[in-house]
């Protein structure tokens, strides 16, 4: 991938849990037009763990058709067992995607060998490249440097990793046995401008999905060496995130996406409706940071 931002897309669903296809297509077009250098469809922000099994392949297919090969497209395929992953990805083998993205299995926290077994098992199910997704707040365990090295040696279709572990990335970059094309995507939103200086020049986060103006401007500034402007844009993005957290994260994200012109519900079906106070707070923040006109 080129240097730049990689949004974890939202997934718009209707009240019955069905995909709002036109909304997803518009979301993808707007992100690419804003300068996204890659897209993650059905990551954490994209409700991968909550989407109905029959809707999951439709989301992937619509995303492929909308992207049209303009940027790399990765599809989240996280689940709790190899058998469940097999059901998830069976319909994706003929799609033109650049990789499947997996966390370690969640619910029952695996030990080191179980984690290795899981990634080997899911990799063997697909002809696609796979990427590891290090997400300790959800999985309650980390993908470690030594795990990555063992998987590089034993999983031919392992293409990269997404993580916020800068120490691991440093070790991987300095290790001559790690392939030069091994993808390292940084996911520490609050430090992505600093990480860019260190050579971790791909940053992935769900907040980019609702901040295309600031995300594109931030990357342009970093490429020009203007880290003052880049820091201001990043502060805007994290400020909106903090607003979401203060007002119920996913319903607030839905409110923001709706205000930006994307129909559908972007949150889990058990969330409470967004409050009028939250809507007002989110709108004010979107206007303040320039994502929405006043």
Number of domains within the chain: 1
Q: Are 290 and 214 in contact (CB under 8 A)?
A: yes
H/E stretch holding 136 reads helix 136-139
Domain for residue 260, yes or no? no
* In a domain? residue 224: no
| Residue 271 located in a structural domain | no
Long-range CB contacts (< 8 A, 24+ apart) of 106-114? 106/49, 106/78, 106/80, 106/138, 106/139, 106/140, 107/80, 108/80, 109/139, 109/140, 109/141, 110/141, 112/144, 112/147
* Residue 217 pLDDT: 97
Indicate which CATH number applies to the domain containing 84.
3.20.20.70
Domain that holds residue 21: 4-210
pLDDT for 40 equals 98
Tell how far CA 217 is from the center of its chain.
Answer: 19
Q: Residue 1: its pLDDT value, please?
A: 79
Within a domain: residue 94?
Answer: yes
In a domain, 216, yes or no: no
Per-residue pLDDT of the chain (294 residues; tens, 9 = 90+): 799 999 999 999 999 999 999 999 999 999 999 999 999 999 999 999 999 999 999 999 999 999 999 999 999 999 999 999 999 999 999 999 999 999 999 889 999 999 999 999 999 999 999 999 999 999 999 999 999 999 999 999 999 999 999 999 999 999 999 999 999 999 999 999 999 999 999 999 999 999 999 999 999 999 999 999 999 999 999 999 999 999 999 999 999 999 999 999 999 999 999 999 999 999 999 999 999 997
The answer for residues whose C-beta is within 8 angstroms of residue 94's C-beta and 6 or more apart is none
pLDDT value of residue 82: 97
For residue 48, the model assigns a pLDDT of 94
Residue 254 lies in a domain: no
């Amino acid at each position: 991938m080129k240097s730049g931002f990689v949004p974890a897309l939202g997934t718009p669903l209707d009240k019955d849990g069905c995909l709002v296809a036109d909304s997803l297509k518009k979301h993808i077009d707007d992100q690419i037009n804003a300068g996204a250098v890659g897209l993650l469809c059905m990551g954490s922000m994209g409700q991968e763990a909550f989407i109905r099994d029959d809707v999951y392949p439709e989301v992937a297919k619509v995303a492929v058709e909308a992207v049209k090969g303009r940027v790399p497209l990765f599809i989240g395929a996280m689940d709790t067992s190899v058998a469940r992953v097999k059901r998830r990805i069976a319909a994706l083998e003929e799609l033109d995607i650049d990789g499947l993205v997996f966390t370690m299995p969640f619910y029952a926290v695996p030990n080191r060998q179980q984690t290795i077994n899981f990634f080997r098992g899911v990799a063997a199910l697909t002809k696609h490249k796979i990427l590891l997704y290090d997400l300790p707040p959800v999985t309650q365990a980390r993908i470690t440097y030594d795990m990555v090295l063992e998987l590089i040696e034993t999983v031919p279709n392992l293409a990269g990793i997404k993580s916020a572990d800068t120490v691991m990335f440093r070790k991987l970059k300095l290790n001559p046995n790690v392939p030069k094309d091994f993808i390292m995507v940084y996911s520490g939103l609050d430090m992505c401008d600093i990480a860019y200086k260190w050579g971790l020049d791909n940053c992935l986060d769900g907040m980019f999905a609702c901040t295309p103006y600031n995300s594109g401007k931030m990357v342009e500034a970093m490429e020009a060496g203007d880290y003052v402007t880049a820091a201001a844009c990043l502060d805007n993005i994290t400020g909106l995130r903090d607003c979401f957290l203060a007002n119920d994260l996913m319903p607030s994200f839905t409110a923001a996406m709706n205000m930006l012109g994307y129909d559908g519900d972007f949150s889990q079906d058990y969330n409470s409706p967004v409050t009028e106070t939250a809507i007002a707070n989110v709108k004010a923040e979107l206007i303040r940071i320039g994502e929405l006109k006043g």
